[in-house]
């Protein structure tokens, strides 16, 4: 699929320098690109790769036009331009807009126009699937669950009963939405299950990776706002609320009833304790533990830095004596005063 540079330029609202009549058919980084490739210079760190690139065309900012040895499209934000351009090279299999004969669809389910329902899918009673939505093979949509327009569920996704998904939601394989929250009351005989009577409400343009889990609420709902992006193996417990456009990287775990603001970025492996609040515009570095609320926007961390294990062992032992060390230093200061 060859895409003329002129067409690309119009789409990206950029300015074409050279390359009249040329086309591109794939994307590659500057240093590995060859004829037919579109490339981009988004990070100044890679500016040195520009001079030698063999790409057919490069997306870049005005300041780099002069240094570019090949055709280029001048844009304000080359990384965003690359993201937009990438859609043109989408090579995923095209959904066939059919309900596969092996799918099990309840009579009371409502299917919008042009839905694709893959082999061995199960759509239970009263479920609603919006127009142009795609269910990959072996996916399950529980009773009464409502899916919006143009959603894309990959193979093996499970939505429990009574869940709501907005429009243009993407869910990758193995993710489970609406399982019971981890609610149990201690009883003399062991743990008494608390039936999870709430649901999960997911907004528009939410993206959910593979093998992530979003539990239904105990009483009220778990809520994921519009534009939230969630990576793989992320755990979102019951009654969590996540604000618009917040991003959660892989292996994040958020405990029950935590409220996360909008426009946050949560690094990989971060853990957020239950019943606390993280305000808007908070950024958490990888594997940080949040055990109290964060009320001011900013970047936060916990943990220690990497070292050799030999050195770490010594310091880790000393960590256990840290409070005592502080008191020793205070005593020294008093003696010297």
Site for a second copy in 304-323 (CB under 8 A): 304-323
Q: Looking at beta carbons only, is 71 or 171 nearer to a second copy?
A: 171
Q: How far is the CB of 187 from a second copy (least distance, A)?
A: 5
**Beta strands 23-24 and 3-4, pairing class:** antiparallel
Among 64, 245, 277, 281, indicate the residue that binds a second copy (CB under 8 A): 245
Rounded Cα distance between 337 and 326, Å, is 17
Question: For residues 171-230, which are near a second copy according to CB under 8 A?
Answer: 172-174, 176, 179-180, 182-187, 190-195, 197, 205, 207, 209-213, 215, 219-220, 226-227, 229
Burial class (CB in 10 A: 0-12, 13-18, 19+), 134: buried
Binding span for a second copy by CB under 8 A among 51-59, 61-69, 109-117, 122-130: 122-130
**By the 8 A CB rule, do 281 and 265 touch?**
no
Scanning 49-200, the segments in alpha helix (DSSP H) are: 78-86
Map the footprint of a second copy across residues 272-291, applying CB under 8 A: 273, 283, 285-291
Cβ 18 to a second copy, closest distance in Å? 23
Distance (Å, rounded) from C-alpha 5 to C-alpha 127?
44
| Residue 90 structure tokens | 């989408």
Q: Which of 100, 238, 275, 283 is catalytic?
A: 238
Instruction: Please report where in the chains the tokens 């889990």 appear, as a residue.
Output: 213
CB atoms near residue 66 (< 10 Å): 8
Give per-residue burial for 9-19: e unless 16+ CB within 10 Å, then b: beebebebbeb
Residues numbered 51 to 110 that lie near a second copy (CB under 8 A) are 77, 79-80, 82-84, 86-87, 89-93, 100, 102, 104
Site for a second copy in 123-152 (CB under 8 A): 124-125, 136-138, 140, 142-143
Considering the rule CB under 8 A, would residue 253 count as an interface residue with a second copy? yes
Buried/exposed code over 261-291 (b: 16+ C-beta within 10 A; e: otherwise): bbebbbbbbbbbbeebebbebbbbbeebebe
- Catalytic residue list contains 326: no
Task: Measure the CA–CA gap between 123 and 294, rounded to whole angstroms.
Answer: 41
Of residues 161, 279, 280, 281, which one binds a second copy by CB under 8 A? 161
Pick the binder of a second copy from 235, 277, 279, 281 (CB under 8 A): 235
Q: Which is nearer to a second copy, 4 or 174 (CB)?
A: 174
Residue positions annotated with a catalytic role:
238
């Amino acid at each position: 699929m060859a895409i003329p540079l002129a067409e690309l330029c119009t789409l990206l609202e950029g300015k074409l320098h050279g390359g009249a009549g040329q086309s591109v058919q794939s994307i590659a980084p500057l240093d590995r690109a060859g004829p037919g490739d579109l490339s981009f210079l988004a990070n100044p760190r890679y500016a040195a790769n520009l001079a030698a690139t063999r790409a057919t065309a490069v997306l870049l900012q005005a300041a780099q036009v002069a240094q570019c040895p090949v055709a280029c499209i001048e844009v304000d934000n080359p990384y965003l331009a690359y993201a937009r351009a990438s859609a043109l090279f989408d090579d995923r299999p095209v959904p066939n807009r059919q309900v596969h004969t092996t799918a099990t669809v309840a009579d009371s389910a409502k299917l919008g126009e042009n839905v694709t329902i893959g082999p061995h899918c199960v759509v239970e009673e009263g479920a609603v699937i919006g127009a142009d939505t795609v269910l990959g093979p072996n996916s399950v949509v529980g009773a009464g669950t409502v899916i919006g327009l143009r959603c894309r569920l990959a193979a093996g996704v499970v939505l429990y009963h009574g869940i709501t998904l907005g429009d243009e939601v993407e869910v990758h394989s193995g993710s489970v939405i609406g399982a019971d929250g981890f609610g149990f009351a201690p009883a003399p005989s062991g743990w008494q299950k608390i039936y999870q009577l709430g649901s999960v409400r997911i907004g528009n343009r939410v993206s959910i990776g593979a093998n992530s889990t979003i539990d239904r609420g105990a009483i009220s709902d778990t809520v994921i706002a519009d534009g939230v992006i969630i990576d793989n193996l992320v755990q979102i417990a019951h009654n969590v609320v996540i604000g618009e456009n917040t991003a959660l990287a892989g292996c994040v775990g958020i405990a029950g009833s935590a409220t996360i603001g909008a426009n946050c970025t949560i690094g990989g492996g971060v853990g957020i304790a239950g019943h606390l609040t993280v305000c808007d515009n908070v950024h958490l570095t990888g594997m940080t533990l949040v055990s109290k609320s964060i009320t001011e926007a900013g970047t936060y961390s916990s943990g220690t830095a990497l070292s050799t294990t030999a050195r770490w062992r010594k310091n880790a032992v000393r960590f256990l004596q840290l409070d005592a060390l502080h008191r020793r230093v205070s005593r020294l200061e008093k003696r010297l005063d």
